[in-house]
Amino acid sequence: MNLRHRWWMAGMLLCLAAICAHRARAEGASPWPVVPAGASSVRAVTGHAPLALLRPVAPETIERALAEADALYRSGQSGQALQAYATLVEIDARNPQAWLRLGNLHQQAGREDEALDAYRRAAHARTGTPAEAEARGKALLNIALLGVADAIRAIDELDAMDLAALDETRDAVFEQVGAQRRRVNRMATRWIAAEPAAGTRPATSPP
């Protein structure tokens, strides 16, 4: 297939996607596929691996797409928001805000591994925009919160084993984890205090 045919195919696929979305909206249905409960990654959400871009997308287009995804997120339409953010990171793989919200949605659904993956991608995304630092900071905070929660679960399981040989080590670990938990909670409290008033996002949202 030569380059001209590839461009023609890409254009046709984009047109078909737009027609399907328009028809779905006209029929009162969501243009986004329903996400299964076990969906985890961008591949699971969109049905394919992230696409390589054929041409750059204007920043204004990215901003509009992010605003639409954020509106879905704040209104509690988690399935549609998940699809919207997953589509957005296909277009702009270095978008920290989109990766952060993907992590939030996975975490709210109990998919901690997928949440951690999204948070790590957000934490490593560097766009040079003012919003980047806040998104990366929240992603790092959520990684820390999930790490502390995982450590506490491991400690509880260890404590239930009641191994006398590990008493001294266990007590030291308890103290270290407790100190880190207090530190992370203080940071989380500052982030949450700076968030919009209640009702603008799901009550169970992580930072």
Average pLDDT, the chain: 73
User: Mean pLDDT across the stretch 19-27?
Assistant: 49
Q: Indicate the pTM of the whole model.
A: 0.61
User: Mean pLDDT across the stretch 116-142?
Assistant: 89
Position 141 pLDDT exceeds 80: yes
CA distance 108 to 147: 16
Residue type present at position 95: N
Q: Which residue has the tokens 């328009």?
A: 22
CA distance 184 to 65: 32
If pLDDT is split at 50, 70 and 90, which confidence band does 204 have? very low
Residues 6 or more apart whose Cβ sits within 8 Å of residue 123: 96, 136, 139, 140, 143
126 HSE (CA, 13 A, CB side) = 1
